[in-house]
Every structure is written in structure tokens, then in C-alpha cells.
A and B are shown apart, each in its own frame.
Chain A
Amino acid sequence: MIEAYFIHLLIIIGIYIILATSLNLALGYTGLLNLGHIAFFGIGAYVSTLLSVNTSLPFLLIFILAGFVASIFGYLLMLATNKLRGDYLALATLGFNFVIYSLFLNWTSLTRGPLGIPGIPKPSIFGFVFQSNLSYLIFVAVIAFLVVGFLHLLLKSSYGKLLEAVRDNELACKVLGKNTFKMKWQAMAVSAFFAGIAGSLYAHYITFIDPSSFSLYEIILILTIVLVGGLATLKGSIAATVIILLIPEVLRFFALPSSILGPARQIIYALLLILILMYRPRGLFGKVDLG
């Protein structure tokens, strides 16, 4: 029993590590104030769900497609908001999130709206079905390891340094002849791709999705994780994911009813977010300030 609980927690942590590190690529390393990351997560979840429920494509292809569709949206979002800076960019991306959310909610012929889509099959790769949670955990862990490894190599490379240069001084990069818009949309597309596959992992694990998993509340959680961990640090994002997701688990020991547990979790996250901005704006290992 307690084992099953830990495996569940670890799977969720694995999925959120992918989400947090990919958001940090856009928000921390490239300096794009993206508050719409959860929309990519949702797009990935819905694309993966709809394809696996309605078609018989192999899971690996669906998995890649989930990330790919999300990254197209990432590119389009960057294309649309290229001129915006600072809080205006934050608002536009937040708006993007609301638009996607209301599409999930209202495009009922496709998404079944608030009823959600049940019965999402567990993934199978080359005939092996990830039926038990333990096997799913291993799958998530491998993907998370690959994502973090890829991001680590990317950000250590000269390309990664260029992304940071775009964040620190875009004009100077332009003067040096770099196409900063291209770098920004590439960073956003990669970030969205990983959020998309995280969404796919989430959907096939829970086997049910509805729009409420991709609401404003989820943005707060993921922002809190990235800001607590600190901007432009993968190590920080990973540590913060573990810490932030474990904190509300403490509440479980008090045997609170779920009507209190839900709001209490959100209150903890919101308070943490505000306090970290006020007292430790660079988080655990952050290297740069926000905005």
C-alpha cells in the first residue's frame, strides 16, 4: 500500500521534472516570460489521448506527435508575441492559456468538454504494455532522464550560451548578427515539445483527462516550482519539484477532508510563490532575476 503511494508520487514528480525543466529553458535561460506552459502540457495530453482513443497508431509515434503539436503551438505563440516584452508578454501568454483552456472546455464534439475523456490506454512499446505502475515509473524515469540530459547538454553548448545572451541583451546579440527571433522561437518550441510529451505521460498514467487539469491553478504550481528552484538552473528545478510536490503530502497525515485539502494545497503554493518573490527572488540555486 505505502509502496504504491510512493510509486505514484515518484511518477508525478518525474512528469513535473520534465515540465519544470522545460519551462526553465524558456523562462530562465531564454528570458521569455511564458505563463502559458500549462497550455502546452494540455495540448500534449489531449493530442495523445485523442490519437490513442480514436486511431491505432503506435504509442511511440503518438508520443512524439503530442510533443510536436505542442511545439507548433509554441512556435505560433512566439510568432504572435515576438514584439511584446516583460509583463505584456506574460499577459499574452497567460491569455493563450485561457484560450486553450476554453477550447478544451467548449469544443465538446472533440474533447467531450467538462466530462473529460476516460479509458485512455496504457502505453505499449514494441508489444510491451506498461500496465503496472512500477513499469510506468521506469518509463517516466527514463524519459525524464533523457529530457534533463538533453537540456543539460543543450544549455552547456555554445547554443545554450547564446540563448542566455539573448536573455541578457537581445540588442547586443542582434548587433553581432544573430537572428534572435529564430533563437527565441526555437527555445519556445523545444520547451513546448517537452511540455507536450509530459502531457502525454500524464494522460496515459491517469487514464482520464478533463480541462480542470490544465487550469490557472496548475500554472501557479509550475511557476512556484521554477521560481523556488531558481531561474536558469536545472538542478534547482529538479530539487524544487521534489520539495514542492512533497510539501502538501504532509497534510495527508492530518486526515483532513478533501474539501479542505484542495484549497489548503493551493494556499500553500500561492503563499510560497509570494514569499519566494519577496524574500528570496533567486530561489534555491537561481542565477538571474525575473523580468
Chain B
Amino acid sequence: MIVTQLLINGIIAGSIYALVAVGFSLIYATNRFVHFAHGGFVTVSAYLIYTFFSLWGLNFYVSALLTIIVAGFLGWLVYKLVYTPLKKRKASNAVLLIASVGLLILLENLMLLIFGADVKSLGYIKIKKGIEILGGIITPLQIVIVVLVVVLLLILWFFMKKTRLGKTMRAVADNPNLSNIIGINAKRICYLSFIIGTALAGIAGILVALEQNIEPIMGTGLMIKGFTGAIIGGVTSVPGSVLGSYLLGLVENFGIWFLPSGYKDAIAFVLLFIFLLFKPTGILGLRGKYKEQKV
């Protein structure tokens, strides 16, 4: 059944996009600038786990933990070295966006310089024969990835809704000035959400490395998808960006019914275009007025 297969493919793709999108959207919600280099951190994390696990021969779980920690640390470093000085100078959002595109290119090419252009693979889990569900085929690894992403998203949802830090983050996202007035250190929250967002990019990097080949330019493609998912779902809303990502995964995979598969990226961008033009706040995003405020 081609429909089930496309559905399964859409869900798998959507899961990875969602993981990229939530990190991006967490950063955008509090910091209010487009952090395009988020995809670069996914790439860096994939190479980190490759280094720890395949080159240094560490235990997989230790490698994964190390990758997430190092990714978070690198996020902090970049925020401190690049974004904080720009924000202090009251640079416009456009400047931050262009700087982040520069950062993305920088990270990708650093990986290219260090590891070379040939693709690497992790080879932790051997590719097994797929299981058939209603005529569609899914490998056990893909099931693990989808389940893991869903669990992670639930944890994140719980974190944002129930914990004190999560609530504070949502308060800053909602109204930075007001949260400053009531004594929330909005700058610290911005830092923290950037670090958590980048750590999520770390997890995304690990999962992508498990399933696909690792190559220097992988981040740009994932960034486009995650970012598109975030925008169409509503970039300031974490659940919205999850919804948008799954929607994108499905639209893309059903889209190749009509178009060659090479057009996947174009489909994503056409969707993005439509939303930017007609509903820039996305499906679940905040409405109007918030754009003027800056931390």
C-alpha cells in the first residue's frame, strides 16, 4: 500500500523535523531572532557522536550524553561570543539573521575541513529488515526514533507547562518587558533557552546520525525543514512547531506522488512562502503586537 508507506515516511521525517523545530522555536520564542545556525549545531552534534563513538570507541550512551553536553556548551559559547555583543549593540533582527546564516556556513565548513567531504556512518545499529505494517515498511530503528521523539516532545511539553523554569520561559516569550518588571532575569532565561535549544539540536544530531549518513551539508537541509515546520505551526509556540513539522513531513512525502523527490526542499519552501504571506503567525502562533518588544 503506497498510502501507508507515504504516511509512515511522512511521520518519520516529521519526527526528525519536529525535534529540530522545537529547539529552534524555543530559542525564537524567548530570544526573538531567527537562529539559522541551529541546523549547523545538528551537523556538529552528528560529527561529535561520530568522534566519541566511532573514532574514540566510547560506550554509545556515554557518547550520546557527552554529545548533548558539548552541544549545549557550544551553544552557550556562540551565544556569548556572537549574539550577546550583537544584542548589546541593539542590532536589528535582520542583522542577527544574517549573522546566523554566516554561522551556519562557518560550522558546516569547519566540519568539512576537519572531517573531509566523504560521508561517515555511525554503524551502531545494524540496518535490519523492515517490519510490515498495513502494507508499509518501517525498520525497527525508525520505530525507536519515532517513539523517542514523541517521548522527548512529551517531556518538553511537561517541562514547559509544569516546571517553574518552563513557566518562566513562557512568561518571557509572552512578554519580555513585563517579566523583567516582575523580577524575572529575562537575559538569563534567554541564555538558558538557547542552551536547552542547542542541546535539543544535539539530540537531533544523534538521531539523524543513527539513521542517515553524516555529511557536512546535512544541517542546512534539516534547518530548512525544521524552520519551515516551526513557521507554519507558529514559531513562538512549541506545540505549534511540532504540529507544523509533522504536517510538513506528510505534505512533503505525499507531494512526491506528483513531483520528483528532488523537489522536497522546494515543496517545503513553497509551503513556507504561503504561510509567510497569508498567515505569518502560523497555525498556533501568538498574534500581532509582540514583535516590537526586545529583551
Contact = CB atoms under 8 A, between A and B. Distances in A.
Interface of A: 33, 35, 80-81, 83-84, 86-88, 90-92, 94-96, 98-99, 102-103, 105-106, 113, 216-217, 219-220, 223-224, 227, 259-260, 262-264, 266-267, 269-271, 273-274, 277-278, 281, 289-291
Identify the interface centre among A88, A96, A224, A262: most chain B CB within 10 Å of its CB. Answer: A88
A247 B47 CA distance: 29
Given A102-B262, A266-B109, A291 B34 contact: no
Interface of B: 33-34, 82, 85-86, 89, 91-99, 101-103, 105-106, 108-110, 112-113, 116-117, 220, 224, 231, 260, 262-263, 265-266, 269-270, 272-273, 276-277, 280
A35 B231 CA distance: 18
A78 B98 CA distance: 20
Identify the interface centre among B97, B260, B265: most chain A CB within 10 Å of its CB. Answer: B97
**A interface, by DSSP: helix, strand, loop or mixed?**
helix
Contact of A269 (B105, B231, B260, B272): B105
Contacts of A266: 105-106, 108-109
A87 B33 contact: yes
B34 A91 contact: yes
27 contacts: A84-B277, A86-B94, A87-B93, A87-B96, A88-B280, A90-B34, A91-B231, A95-B269, A95-B273, A98-B269, A99-B266, A102-B263, A102-B269, A106-B260, A106-B266, A113-B262, A219-B101, A260-B113, A262-B112, A270-B102, A270-B105, A278-B82, A278-B89, A281-B91, A281-B95, A289-B95, A290-B98
Contacts of B93: 86-87, 291
Given A84-B280, A106-B263, A220-B105, A33 B91 contact: no
B112 A263 contact: yes
Contacts of B95: 277, 281, 289-291
A98 B224 contact: yes
Nearest to A113: B262
Given A86-B92, A277-B95, A80 B277 contact: yes
Contacts of B86: 277-278
A102 B86 CA distance: 33
B117 to A, nearest CB: 7
A96 B102 CA distance: 18
Nearest to A272: B102
Given A86-B93, A86-B94, A102 B266 contact: yes
A-B complex: 5 closest residue pairs judged by Cβ atoms: A291-B92, A291-B94, A106-B262, A270-B106, A273-B102
